[in-house]
Amino acid sequence: METTDSAAAIPPQKNDKRVINGWAFFDWANSAYALVITVAIFPGYFLELTNDTLNVFGLQMSNSTLYAWSISFAYLVIAAISPLLSGIADYGGKKKVFLRFFTTLGALACISLLFFTSMKTLWVGVTGFVLATIGFAGGIVFYNSFLPLIATEDRYDDVSAKGFSYGFIGSVILLVANLIVIMNYEWFGFSDGLQAVPTAFVMVGLWWIGFAQIPLRRLPNDAPPTTRENLLTKGYEEIKKVWRVVKGDSNTKAFLFAFFCYNAGVQAVLFLASTFAEKELHFDTQRLIFLVLILQIVAIGGAWASAKLSGRKGNKFSMMTMLIIWTGICITGYFVQTGLDFYLLAGAVGLVMGGIQSLSRATYAKLLPENTPDTASYFSFYDVMDKVSTVAGTFVFGFVENITGGMRNSVAALAVFFVISLAVLAAVKIRRMKNAHHPAV
């Protein structure tokens, strides 16, 4: 037994191709939910089944506002508990345990959406969607924390991009399968395409939990617990410790503020673009799926292109270029009128959506104190910023629509997030790779 514990404590060998590919397969598994359900299929299905105006706990709101605020609530929950979970993961030796738990929660909740069939089961749709989103977001806390454990710093950009690219490719494959079922609903005994849609919820849930077994088997085993202290408070103590370090580092603090602002805009666009297309441009489920296929295919190249651009010009140059594009997307979105215009706009989103997320994760990893063993705590802080900014972006989107009566105003409001982040990021210094003979930029 002593030999086993000792072996488990040995740091894993970095840059192992099999381990890195296994890590990337987690993106392949859970991106099916993130992009097939939340972007392509569930938003339109939700709006189709629900009344345009709803009364929720005495508050009048549109069905699209309820959808946006459901996302806000899910991310608020995970933002509140992720410091606790990541602290336990670091000190209780439970990274893979929690990765497995949230994967299982998310997949089963996704499958439960099969029973959301009308306004009578609206509670099933909202509850299942919130729990599945919590499962998705919670798993990413621990998925991200493995990056510094499996790759050296000079490989962060490429490995991070590989994860996003695997996710895009896997999502396209499953999305095509969903499209075949929905377009040819009569082959499968359905009376119309709307009745066929819930099969996608089951397919995604099974895909998610099935392919997640690859990273769960290949990623390094958890080290033994490093403390016998109260782990329920240890996580929050660690996040406070990280904040004290970040607070004293104006460069990292500025990056995280810029990240908060632009991520609020990015996540709001990714989560709510489909509701915009369905409500403002009257897209049906099939057109939404074609829309996401365009977005996905372009994103495969976009993630790799961003990594190559950052290798030549540095992370900051690459991110600022993409933020300018994101600003243009929001401004253009306010004026878009036709389906063709929106398809072209989706192509632009695909070009930069994977790149900005991939480089954000890799850049933050570069800003961590060198040789820190508490990666989960540092990535928990990053993920709290990610989750809270998602709450901010989706809440603002729903709030602006609810008070103005138009989703175009919500899209225009998101441009403010990107403009602020551009101004802040301009002052941030990000070091280049250790083996590169370039100054910080």
Least confident range from 7-11, 68-72, 78-82, 208-212: namely 7-11
Q: 154: domain CATH number?
A: 1.20.1250.20
Q: What is the pLDDT of residues 420-432, one digit of tens each?
A: 999 999 888 776 5
Q: Is residue 343 situated within a structural domain?
A: yes
Number of domain units in the chain: 1
In the structure, what pLDDT confidence band is assigned to residue 257 with cuts at 50, 70 and 90? very high
Q: Taking 90 as the threshold, does the pLDDT of residue 371 lie above it? A: no
Q: Is residue 392 situated within a structural domain?
A: yes
Rounded (5°) CA angle 141-297-342: 100
User: How far apart are the C-alpha atoms of 412 and 285, rounded to whole Å?
Assistant: 25
Q: Is residue 131 situated within a structural domain?
A: yes
pLDDT of 376:
64
pLDDT of 164:
77
pTM across the whole model: 0.80
Give me the numbers of helices (H) and strands (E) for the chain, helices first please: 18, 2
The residue-averaged pLDDT of 226-240 equals 70
The residue-averaged pLDDT of 311-332 equals 88
Q: Is residue 439 situated within a structural domain?
A: no
Q: Which domain holds residue 158?
A: 13-425
Q: Is residue 277 situated within a structural domain?
A: yes
304 close to 292: Cβ distance less than 8 angstroms:
no
Least confident range from 225-234, 334-343, 389-398: namely 225-234
Least confident range from 168-172, 199-203, 207-211: namely 168-172
User: How far apart are the C-alpha atoms of 277 and 13, rounded to whole Å?
Assistant: 46
The residue-averaged pLDDT of 433-437 equals 44
pLDDT of 136:
92
**Nearest one of 360, 342, 362 to 350, comparing CA atoms:** 342
Q: How far is CA 319 from CA 259, 357, 382, 408, in A?
A: 10, 9, 17, 25
pLDDT of 440:
40
Q: Is residue 437 situated within a structural domain?
A: no
Q: Taking 60 as the threshold, does the pLDDT of residue 33 lie above it? A: yes
Q: Is residue 8 situated within a structural domain?
A: no
Q: What is the pLDDT of residues 127-172, one digit of tens each?
A: 999 999 999 988 887 887 788 788 887 888 788 878 878 887 898 8
If one counts every other C-beta atom within 10 angstroms of the C-beta of residue 185, the result is 18
Q: Is residue 405 situated within a structural domain?
A: yes
More confident residue, 324 or 347: 324
List own/partner pairs for 406-413 with CB under 8 A and 24 or more apart: 407/64, 407/272, 407/275, 407/276, 407/279, 407/280, 408/280, 408/333, 408/334, 409/334, 410/268, 410/272, 411/269, 411/276, 411/330, 411/333, 411/334, 412/330, 412/331, 412/333, 412/334
In the structure, what pLDDT confidence band is assigned to residue 436 with cuts at 50, 70 and 90? very low
**Nearest one of 55, 110, 31, 42 to 275, comparing CA atoms:** 42
What percentage of the chain exceeds 70 in pLDDT?
Answer: 89
